[in-house]
Structure 1
Amino acid sequence: MRKPRFNTIGTWLALALFTFWTIVPIALVVVNSFKKAKDIFTTTPRLFFTPTLDNYVNAFTKANFGLYYLNSTIVALVSTVIAIVIGTFAAYALTSFRLNVANTIAGGFFLGKLVPVISMLLPLFVIINSIGLRGTLAGPIIAHVALNLPFVVWLMMGFLRDVPHELHQAAMIDGCTRMQTFWKVLFPIIFPGIAAAFVLSAQYSWNELLFSLQLTTLDTYTLPVGIAGFVGSISVDWGLSSAAATATMVPLIILGFFVQKHIAAGTTGGAVKG
C-alpha cells in the first residue's frame, strides 16, 4: 500500500516542479509588463506595485509594434495554410497510391526535419534574394513553408496510415472519386491531425527569429525581430520587451485552447464502428 502512495506523491511532486519551472518565467514577464522601470530594477522584487499600461501604449505607438503584429499574423497564417494544404495532400498521395518509393520519400521528408535549421539559411537567403523577395513578406513565408512542410507531411502520414483502408474502398465502391473520398470520408477523421499540425506550424512561424531577421527589413519586421530590437548594445528596455512578449503570447494561447478539444475528440475508432 505504501509503494503506490509513494509513486503518487512523487508524480505530483514532479508535476508541481515542472509547472513551477514553466509558469514562473511567464508570470514574471507578464508582471513586469505592468511595472514601471523603478519597480522592475529594485534589489528586492516588489510584489505590490501600482500597475501601469504605459509599456503597452509605448509598444504599440512609439515602437511600431502594431505593424510587427500585422506582419507576423500574415506570415504565420499564409505560411501555415500553404504548408498544411501541400503537406496533407502529399501525405495522402504517399499513403493512398501505394507507391513503391513512398517510404523512401517519407524518410526524405523526415530527414529534412532533422537537418539543422541554420544550415538552410544561406541557400534560402540566396534563392529569395535572387528572385527579389528579400524585404517582403513573401520571403519569410517561403522560408517558413519550407521549414514546416517536412513536419506536416510526416505528421499527417501517421494519421492517414491509421485510417483503415476499407474506408477508401467503401467510398470508391459508392462512386466517390479520390478527392471526394478525401473530403467526405478522410477529412473528418484526420481533422485532429490537421488541427495539431496547424497549431504547431503556426507556433513555429510566429516565434521564428533567424530567417525573419535575415529576410525582412524595417517595414516587414515580424514580432520576434521587433522584440529583439528592444535589446540594445548597452541596456534592455525590460518593461517594453515584457509588454511586447506578453502581447505576443496571447494569440497562441487562445489558439491552443480553441483547438485542444478538436485534438482530443478525434479518433478513427468512431469512423469504423458503424
Structure 2
Amino acid sequence: MLTRWTGVGFKIIVLLFFTLWTIVPIALVVTNSFKKEMDIFTTTPTLWFSPTLTNYFNAFSKGDFSLYFINSTYVAVISSLIAVGFGTFAAYGLTSFRSKWSNTIANGFLLGKLVPAISMLLPLFTLIRLTGFLGTLVGPIVAHAALNLPFIIWLLMGFMRDVPKELNDAATIDGCTKMQVFWKVVVPIILPGIAAASILAMQYSWNELLFSMQLTDMDTYTLPVGISTFVGAISVDWGKSSAAATVTMVPMIIVGFFVQKYIAQGTTSGAVKG
C-alpha cells in the first residue's frame, strides 16, 4: 500500500512540475503584456499592478502586426491544406497498393522528419530564389508544407492500416473504383486523423520562425518574424513583444481547445495502430 501511494505521489509531483513548467512562462508573457514598462523592469516581479492596453495598441498600430497576422493565417492555412492533401493521397497509395517497398518508403518519409530542419534551409532557399518566389508568401508555404509532409504521411498511414479490409473489399465488389473507395470509405473513417494532422500542421506553420525569416521580406513577414523585430541589438521591447506573443497564442489555443479530442485520438491511434 505504501509503495503504491509513493508511486502515485511521485506521478502527481511530476505532473505538477510539468504543468508549472508550461503555465508559468505563458503567465509571465500575458501579465507583461498588460504592464507598463516601469512595472516590467522592477527588480522584484510585481503581481499587483495597474493594467494597460498600451502595449497592444502599439503592437497593432506601430508594428504592422495586423499585416503579420494576416500573412501567418494565409501561410498556415494554405500550407496545411497542401501538406494534408498530398499526405492523405500518399498515405493511401502506400497502404492500398501494397508492395515490399511500401514500409521502406514510409520509413524514408519519417527519416525526412528526423533530419534537422536547418539542413534543408539552403536547398529550399536556392530553389525558391531560382523560381522567383523569394520574398513572397509562396516561400514559407512551400517550406512548411514540405516540412510537415513526412509526419502527416506517417501519421495517416497508421489510420489507414486500421481501416477494415472487408470494407474496402465490399466497396470494390459493389463496383467502386480505388478513388471511390478512398472518398466513400477511407476518408470518413480516418477523419479524426485528418483533423489531428491538419491542426498539428497548422500549429507548426503558425509558430515556425527560421524558414519564414529567411524566405520573406518586410511585406510578407509572418507573426514569429514580426515579433522578432521587437528584439533590437541593444534592448528588447518587452511590452510590445509580450502583447504580440499573447495575441499570437490565442488562435491556436482556441482551435486546440475545440479539437483536442481529435488531436489526442489522432496522435495516439496513428502512432499505436500504425
TM-score calculated relative to the size of structure 1: 0.94
Question: Which residue is 1:149 aligned to?
Answer: 149
Question: Which residue is 1:122 aligned to?
Answer: 122
Matches within 5 A, 1:176-195: 176-195=176-195
8 Å CA contact 2:84–2:149 kept in 1: the answer is: yes
Answering whether residue 51 of structure 2 is matched by residue 48 of structure 1, we say no
Extract unaligned runs of 5+ from structure 2. Answer: 270-274
Letter in 2 for 1:196: A
Answering whether residue 14 of structure 2 is matched by residue 14 of structure 1, we say yes
Identical-pair percentage = 68
Q: What is the deviation of 1:59?
A: 0.7
Letter in 1 for 2:213: L
SS at match of 2:219: helix
Q: What is the deviation of 1:220?
A: 0.2
Q: What is the deviation of 1:174?
A: 2.1
8 Å CA contact 2:88–2:153 kept in 1: the answer is: yes
Answering whether residue 222 of structure 2 is matched by residue 222 of structure 1, we say yes
Tell me how many residue pairs correspond in the alignment.
268
Matches within 5 A, 1:157-172: 157-172=157-172
Answer with 158-167 or 146-155: which moved more: 158-167
8 Å CA contact 1:29–1:242 kept in 2: the answer is: yes
Matches within 5 A, 1:1-274: 1-263=1-263
Letter in 2 for 1:240: K
8 Å CA contact 2:109–2:154 kept in 1: the answer is: yes
Distance 1:223 1:83 in 2: 20
Distance 2:86 2:143 in 1: 15
Distance 2:93 2:265 in 1: 25
TM-score calculated relative to the size of structure 2: 0.94
Distance 1:63 1:262 in 2: 36
Letter in 1 for 2:135: G
Distance 2:137 2:265 in 1: 35
8 Å CA contact 2:192–2:262 kept in 1: the answer is: yes
Question: Which residue is 2:272 aligned to?
Answer: none
Distance 2:164 2:207 in 1: 36
Root-mean-square deviation (CA), in Å? 1.5
Letter in 2 for 1:152: I
Q: What is the deviation of 1:265?
A: 6.4
Distance 1:199 1:138 in 2: 20
Extract unaligned runs of 5+ from structure 1. Answer: 269-274
Q: What is the deviation of 1:159?
A: 1.2
Distance 2:159 2:92 in 1: 10
